[in-house]
């Protein structure tokens, strides 16, 4: 028996939820580094310190594991956006909080952000459905406030919501990839200023 196998066998058994979280964390690292197609379940199991059969007990296929990782971080991002929007009744501050939520997510969860927005599996129907749902849920949270405040039709408000969410996402991604000299606060200030000048042009009811 190999040394790594001995080490695995000697480890105390984790509760199922903790082991699942460990597997998802290891999978995120491997999927982000190698991409879905090059990632191997053996490597994920080794990274998590478990045997391959244990990994398959939790996730019967690589695709199911990938989707579980996606779901975890999609839910996290959507929650942060919804929390930001509900954090204040002031619309300018809502815009800022939403932008900051994206920058905060990308700063603390860079690997997850890359998985969500640079996925080599985006054409896979089950992945595309999840990514579309993520965009819709984030934009819907924004558009609900726009519609309520301006009286614009829901379809128009949704389009504006998608535009705001898309801008926050793309600028945060640019900031991360370029290793910008701008601090997070400076970047958020600039993007918030740009967005607020646009959205505040629509008169309130």
Q: What is the dihedral of CA 56, 128, 33, 25, to 10 degrees?
A: -50
Question: Average pLDDT, stretch 97-120?
Answer: 90
Cβ neighbour number for residue 64 with a 10 Å cutoff: 13
CATH architecture of 71-198: Orthogonal Bundle (1.10)
Give percent of the chain above pLDDT 90.
Answer: 74
Tens digit of each residue's pLDDT (9 = 90 or more) over 84-96? 999 999 999 999 9
CATH architecture of 15-60: Orthogonal Bundle (1.10)
DSSP state, 40?
-
- CATH 1.10.357.10: which residues of the chain? 71-198
Tens digit of each residue's pLDDT (9 = 90 or more) over 143-201? 999 999 899 999 999 999 999 999 999 999 899 888 778 999 999 999 999 999 988 88
Residue 75 has pLDDT above 80, yes or no: yes
Q: Please give the model's pTM, rounded to 2 decimal places.
A: 0.85
Cα separation, 105 vs 113, whole angstroms: 7
- CATH 1.10.10.60: which residues of the chain? 15-60
Query: Residue 7 has what pLDDT?
Result: 45
Distance (Å) of CA 154 to CA 48, 95, 195, 197? 46, 19, 19, 21
């Amino acid at each position: 028996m190999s040394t790594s196998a001995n080490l695995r066998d000697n480890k105390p058994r984790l509760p199922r939820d903790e082991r699942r979280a460990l597997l998802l964390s290891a999978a995120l690292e491997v999927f982000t580094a190698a991409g879905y197609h090059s990632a191997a379940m053996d490597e994920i199991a080794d990274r998590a310190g478990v045997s391959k059969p244990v990994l398959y007990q939790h996730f019967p296929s690589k695709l199911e594991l990938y989707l579980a990782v996606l779901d975890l971080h999609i839910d996290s991002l959507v929650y942060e956006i919804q929390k930001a929007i509900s954090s204040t009744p002031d619309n300018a501050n809502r815009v800022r909080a939403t932008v900051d939520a994206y920058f905060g997510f990308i700063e603390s969860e860079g690997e997850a952000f890359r998985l969500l927005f640079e996925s080599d599996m985006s054409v896979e129907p089950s992945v595309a459905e999840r990514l579309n749902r993520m965009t819709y849920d984030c934009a819907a949270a924004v558009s609900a406030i726009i519609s309520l405040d301006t009286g614009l039709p829901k379809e128009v408000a949704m389009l504006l919501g998608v535009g705001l969410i898309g801008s926050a996402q793309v600028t945060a991604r640019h900031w991360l990839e370029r290793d910008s000299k701008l601090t997070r606060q400076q970047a958020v200030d600039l993007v918030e200023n740009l967005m607020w000048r646009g959205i505040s042009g629509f008169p309130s009811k």
